[in-house]
């Protein structure tokens, strides 16, 4: 079985500060990992994904994430927060077991203070 | 840029009534999914659909639920007899390929309220 844990249901940063959203996964087989963002009243939009190529993955809007197998982590970072980054962020996992379903974490709501 | 669309954006229904949630996946996509998110909880997988049949379903997807691709563009989720606990945001998604690392594109969701 696969699972994802996102530490911190709410994270607040100042505009221009580093954003760090934490995601730890559990999977008995090599995982594929995704970060999605949900803006108010919108669907889930893919930020970036890890598919066993480079461990440091760059995504849209200046976000990146590093896959660390030894720590079973896939934390999302952005060097400098912008007001428009305020949204809910979801980490998700799937794998090559034949399943296509994504297993999501509980989400982290990011607030950006001026 | 192509996108997944869903109608209606908000549906209110009474307990015991049937509802049909509609989705139009991206046109060249082959895999279709339904997920739901109960307020304050995780996004949960319901069902995936490929080649006109269910390929995978979760334990949530019981006999009250069914999916259909009635024509070449729509993908529907039917709840036969709604319960209060079916109140949730329902997301449709589609992906171009069956490989698990292909992105699933999500629609904006239908908020279902069962009273």
Encode pLDDT of B48-67 as tens digits: 999 999 999 999 999 999 99
CB atoms within 10 A of CB A10: 10
Q: Chain-wide mean pLDDT for chain B?
A: 93
At B98 the pLDDT is: 73
Please say whether the beta carbons of A76 and A47 come within 8 A: yes
User: Of the candidates B45, B98, B108, which has its C-beta nearest A43's C-beta?
Assistant: B108
Contact between chains at B106 and A103 (C-beta distance less than 8 A): no
User: Of the candidates A36, A45, A49, which has its C-beta nearest B101's C-beta?
Assistant: A49
Report, as an integer, the average pLDDT of B32-54.
93
Query: Residue A99, CB half-sphere, CA atoms under 13 Å: how many?
Result: 18
Q: What is the pLDDT of residues B65-78, one digit of tens each?
A: 999 998 878 999 99
Please say whether the beta carbons of A22 and A12 come within 8 A: no
Contact between chains at B55 and A100 (C-beta distance less than 8 A): yes
**CA of B43 vs chain A CAs: smallest distance (Å):** 6
Q: Tell me the pLDDT of chain A (114 aa) as tens digits.
A: 789 999 999 999 999 999 999 999 998 888 899 999 999 878 899 999 998 778 999 999 999 999 999 999 999 999 999 999 999 999 999 877 767 889 999 999 999 999
Report, as an integer, the average pLDDT of B27-52.
93
**First-to-final CA distance of chain A:** 41
Query: Residue B54, CB half-sphere, CA atoms under 13 Å: how many?
Result: 14
Q: Which of B111, B101, B103 is nearest to B26 (CA)?
A: B103
Residue B2: is its pLDDT beyond 90?
A: no
DSSP string, B50-62: ETTEEEEE-TT--
User: In B, which residues are within 8 Å of A90 by CB distance?
Assistant: 43
B42 in A contact zone (CB under 8 Å): yes
At A78 the pLDDT is: 98
Helices vs. strands in chain A: H and E counts, helices first: 0, 12
A40: left (phi over 0), alpha (psi -120 to 50) or beta: beta
At B10 the pLDDT is: 96
At A54 the pLDDT is: 86
At A29 the pLDDT is: 83
Q: What is the pLDDT of residues B93-113, one digit of tens each?
A: 999 987 777 789 999 999 999
The reply to whether omega before A27 is within 30° of 0 (cis) is: no
């Amino acid at each position: 079985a696969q699972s994802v844990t996102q530490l911190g249901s709410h994270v607040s940063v100042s505009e221009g500060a580093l954003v760090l959203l934490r995601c730890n996964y559990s999977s008995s087989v090599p995982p594929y990992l995704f970060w999605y963002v949900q803006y108010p009243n919108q669907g889930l939009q893919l930020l970036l994904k890890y598919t066993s190529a480079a461990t440091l993955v760059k995504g849209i809007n200046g976000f990146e994430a590093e896959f660390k197998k030894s720590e079973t982590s896939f934390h999302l970072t952005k060097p400098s927060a912008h007001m428009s980054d305020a949204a809910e962020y979801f980490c998700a996992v799937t794998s090559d077991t034949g399943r296509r379903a994504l297993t999501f974490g509980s989400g982290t709501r990011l607030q950006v203070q001026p | 840029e192509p996108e997944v669309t869903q109608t209606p954006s908000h549906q209110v229904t009474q307990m015991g009534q049937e509802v049909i949630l509609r989705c139009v996946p991206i046109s060249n996509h082959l895999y279709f999914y339904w997920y739901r998110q109960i307020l304050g909880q995780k996004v949960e997988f319901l069902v995936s659909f490929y080649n006109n049949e269910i390929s995978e379903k979760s334990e949530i997807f019981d006999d009250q639920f069914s999916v259909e691709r009635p024509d070449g563009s729509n993908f529907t989720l039917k709840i036969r007899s709604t319960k209060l606990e079916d109140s949730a945001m329902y997301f449709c998604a589609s992906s171009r390929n069956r490989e698990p690392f292909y992105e699933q594109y999500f629609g904006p969701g239908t908020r279902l309220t069962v009273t």
